[in-house]
């Protein structure tokens, strides 16, 4: 076995360590997964301009995101069920993020609760929320997050209903009945280390933030059925205005792809947006986030903070996103793969590698600080000509 270095290395180790239904849940996308693959390949089309004989002895990757100082412009994105990828996974992730001096975002449907993550955190962490039908539950979660020190809320706006994720269906994830249960049990039995370290020693494997709301105790199928029933397709910008009135901290809307929606986000009072197609997990056939970023930057770049996610797999990709106008990036699958592969240590290794890759990209393009990264570092012969986002 070779030592993992890249996100791809950690992905392969995660594949060997996780039951099939969990790996595919993490790895898969909507329908035929065209958008999932396009997210990755689009970053490769963003080519950089190498510069030489520039004094780059002092390179600084520090910046600020969501009003929080960061060692580099990277945020650990919310990942549902992360606590099933490793023992108390969200706790391990927040520790790694704190050590790397970057924000961690806890998912509403994480395994570990707000209280558990807060007890493990050494710095403020972010909280992600969906607009569910039970508005009282939303208000309760907002109040609890605030009381526990969260000051940045990441609100996901591209999930009126869950996308069609065929890998999950094939694996019986979320399905009821003996056949689905037997399929998952067989997959678990073939991974005894996961069974012992995560399922048995890492329990309870329930949605910690929703345990009081969901009947069914520790039954994940009951939890999933409740969560699926709570996604609200009636949500409009008026609901975001309602949310803005109730959250006094930083509000970031995640799931914006179009410039028109970005303008609405600014008008309703969002402090930031995340250009995102949900990692290709919602609507297959939508454009890659890298291709959508320049237009969003042109529309609202001077009015709000812009982050981007989807297909970012290296520190060089982080640089590409900044050159296209983003203030920072969110990463999901890479940190979850590293978590599944090697826990907190794996995430720390991945983040150190990415910071060094980012620093190297800055040095070889003649930039010494994050604020200096922009269209001047992009090759105008690439698929993203500078004129589109100046």
Active site residues: 278
How far, in Å, CA of 157 to CA of 112, rounded?
22
Select from 302, 273, 304, 303 the least CA-distant residue to 289: 273
Phi, psi angle pair for 190, to nearest 5° = -85, 0
How far, in Å, CA of 49 to CA of 73, rounded?
21
Element containing residue 242 per DSSP (H, E): helix 237-246
Q: Which residues on adjacent β-strands are paired with residue 305? A: 272
User: What is the total residue count of the chain?
Assistant: 390
Q: How many CB atoms lie within 10 A of CB 14?
A: 25
How far, in Å, CA of 133 to CA of 138, rounded?
9
Between vectors from CA 290 to CA 60 and to CA 43, what angle results, nearest 5°?
70
How far, in Å, CA of 206 to CA of 222, rounded?
10
Phi/psi-derived region of residue 90, left when phi > 0, alpha when psi is between -120 and 50, beta in every other case: alpha
How far, in Å, CA of 48 to CA of 278, rounded?
26
Q: What is the largest CA-CA distance in the chain?
A: 67
Q: Are 82 and 336 in contact (CB under 8 A)?
A: yes
Q: Which residues on adjacent β-strands are paired with residue 231? A: 132
Cα radius of gyration (the chain): 20
How far, in Å, CA of 129 to CA of 148, rounded?
15
* Residue written as token pair 């607009």: 131
How far, in Å, CA of 186 to CA of 124, rounded?
40
Q: Are 220 and 239 in contact (CB under 8 A)?
A: no
Q: Are 346 and 339 in contact (CB under 8 A)?
A: yes
């Amino acid at each position: 076995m070779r030592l993992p270095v890249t996100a791809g290395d950690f992905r392969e180790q995660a594949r060997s360590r996780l039951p099939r239904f969990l790996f595919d849940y993490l790895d898969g996308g909507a329908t035929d997964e065209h958008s999932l693959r396009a997210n990755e390949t689009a970053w490769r089309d963003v080519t950089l301009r190498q510069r030489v004989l520039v004094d780059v002895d002092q390179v600084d990757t520090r910046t600020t995101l969501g009003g929080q100082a960061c060692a580099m412009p990277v945020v650990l994105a919310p990942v549902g069920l992360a606590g099933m990828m490793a023992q108390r996974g969200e706790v391990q992730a927040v520790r790694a993020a704190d050590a790397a001096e970057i924000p961690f975002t806890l998912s509403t449907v994480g395994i570990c609760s707000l209280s558990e993550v807060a007890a493990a955190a050494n710095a403020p962490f972010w909280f992600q929320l969906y607009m569910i039908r039970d508005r009282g539950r939303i208000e309760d979660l907002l109040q609890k997050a605030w009381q526990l020190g969260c000051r940045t809320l990441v609100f996901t706006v591209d999930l009126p209903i869950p996308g069609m994720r065929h890998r999950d269906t094939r694996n019986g994830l979320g399905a009821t009945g003996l056949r689905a249960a037997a399929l998952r049990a067989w997959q678990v039995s073939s991974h005894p280390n996961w069974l012992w370290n995560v399922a048995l020693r890492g329990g309870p494997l329930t949605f910690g933030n929703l345990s009081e709301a969901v009947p069914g105790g520790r039954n994940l199928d009951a939890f999933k059925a409740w969560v699926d029933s709570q996604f609200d397709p009636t949500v409009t910008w008026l609901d975001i205005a309602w949310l803005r009135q109730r959250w006094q901290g930083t509000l970031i809307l995640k799931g914006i792809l179009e410039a028109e929606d970005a303008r609405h986000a600014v008008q309703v009072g969002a402090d930031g947006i995340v250009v995102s197609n949900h990692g290709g997990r919602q609507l297959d056939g939508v454009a890659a986030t890298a291709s959508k970023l320049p237009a969003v930057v042109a529309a609202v770049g001077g009015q709000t903070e812009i982050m981007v996610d989807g297909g970012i797999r290296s520190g060089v990709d982080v640089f590409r996103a900044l050159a296209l106008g983003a203030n920072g990036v969110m990463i999901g699958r890479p940190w979850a793969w590293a978590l599944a592969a090697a826990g907190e240590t794996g995430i720390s290794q991945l983040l150190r590698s990415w910071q060094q890759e980012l620093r190297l990209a800055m040095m070889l393009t003649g930039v010494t600080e994050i604020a200096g990264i922009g269209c001047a570092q992009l090759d105008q012969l690439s698929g993203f000509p500078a004129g589109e986002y100046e």
